[in-house]
Amino acid sequence: MIRLSVQLRSLRLPFRQALQTAGELGADGVEIDLRNELRPEELTQTGIRHLKKILSDYNLKIASVRFPTRRGYNVLEDLDRRVAATKAAMTSAYQLGAKVLCNHIGGIDENLEAETNTRLVEVLHDLARHADSCGVTFAATTGQVDGPILKMFLDQLPEGALGVDFDPGALIINGFSADESYQAIAKYVVHVRGKDGVKDLARGRGIEVPLGRGTVDFQMLIAMLEEARYKGYITVQRDHPENPVQEVADGLAYLRNIQVP
């Protein structure tokens, strides 16, 4: 059975209450947002010990941390500050006991020789070195580019430098194939998002829908993850929930049901 996690922000509850709710829902882990829920500069050793005690009380692990930046690492404006903040978040992730830090890396030019790609590779090299020194994997969240293009880009980096945070729902929403993308980047996947989507012909793009109601074939995805001996979590995420706790609970139940042997 692949372990299941809850993105705390999806519950739309105060932080402590969200942790308790995740525990009550029977999740194995949680994803914490190090920009909007806990800030690295505010984490004291006492605070970290207290958080670990709460997690232990609810039988939870930190499956992943998220550090969403306004811009990708391909954008020059404020780049040094963005990189420094990401490194601080990696250090905090390690202190919290998290193994994976997730964020979008920014747009990738289909022409791999493009100057923006060269700059992005350099920045990711730098971030990967810091992540390695922390014992954390920096994972690029999917959705902005097609899987095969992301694979060609990641293949330029040293092996093990970067992981992938596989978000099948975001790929569908942006008009890509989740199945083809996974097959292209499978070896890089260190975290998976339980998020679903469907194409909306009227809008010309996809929309997010509750887990199991979209076009992502989670049964097949889980089978492929198990075949690859995937050791990470699937984190249930709802970006626009109408009934947050119920929708997260339903998502966990859906993923449990399709994993029953």
Q: Say what percent of the chain tops pLDDT 70.
A: 99
List all residues 6 or more positions away from 242 whose beta carbon is below 8 Å from its beta carbon. none
Residue 261 has pLDDT above 70, yes or no: no
Q: How far apart are CA 166 and CA 233, in angstroms?
A: 11
Plot region of 252 (φ>0 → left; ψ -120 to 50 → alpha; else → beta): alpha
Higher local confidence (pLDDT), 30 or 1: 30
The answer for 170, left when phi > 0, alpha when psi is -120 to 50, beta otherwise, is alpha
pLDDT of residue 40: 84
Q: What pLDDT digit, counting tens, does each position of 160-200 carry?
A: 999 999 999 999 999 999 999 999 999 999 999 999 999 98
What is residue 41's predicted lDDT score, i.e. its pLDDT? 84
Strands 137-141 and 233-236: unpaired
Q: Which CATH number goes with the domain that contains 221?
A: 3.20.20.150
Question: How many structural domains does the chain have?
Answer: 1
* Token pair recorded at residue 221: 């995805």
Max Cα-Cα span within the chain: 52
Q: pLDDT per residue over 75-86, tens digit each?
A: 999 999 999 999
pLDDT at site 113: 86
- State yes or no: pLDDT of 43 exceeds 90: no
User: To which H or E segment does residue 23 belong?
Assistant: helix 15-24
Reported pTM: 0.96
β 137-141/163-166 pair status? parallel
Mean of all residue pLDDT scores within the chain? 95
CA–CA gap between residue 190 and residue 260 (Å, rounded): 22
Structure tokens that stand for 244 in this block: 């947050």
Residue 167: strand, helix, or coil: coil
Q: How far is CA 119 from the centre of its chain?
A: 23
Instruction: Identify the pLDDT of residue 97.
Output: 95
- Give the 3-state secondary structure of residue 45: helix
The label of the residue with tokens 């590779």 reads: 121
**In the predicted model, what is the mean pLDDT of residues 22-35?**
98
Mean pLDDT value of segment 9-15: 97
**104-159 residue pLDDT tens:** 999 999 888 888 899 999 999 999 999 999 999 999 999 999 999 999 999 999 99
**Looking at the predicted structure, is the pLDDT value of residue 231 above 80?**
yes
Cβ pair 1, 27 in contact under 8 A:
no
Report whether 100 contacts 139 (CB < 8 A): yes
- The answer to whether residues 208 and 225 touch, using CB atoms and an 8 Å cutoff, is no
Residue 34 per-residue DSSP state: T
Distance (Å, whole) CA 137 – CA 153 = 17
**Nearest by Cα to 106 from 156, 147, 148, 141:** 141
Number of residues in the chain: 261
Tokens (6 digits) for 224: 């492929």
pLDDT digits (tens, 9 = 90+) for 202-215: 777 899 999 999 99
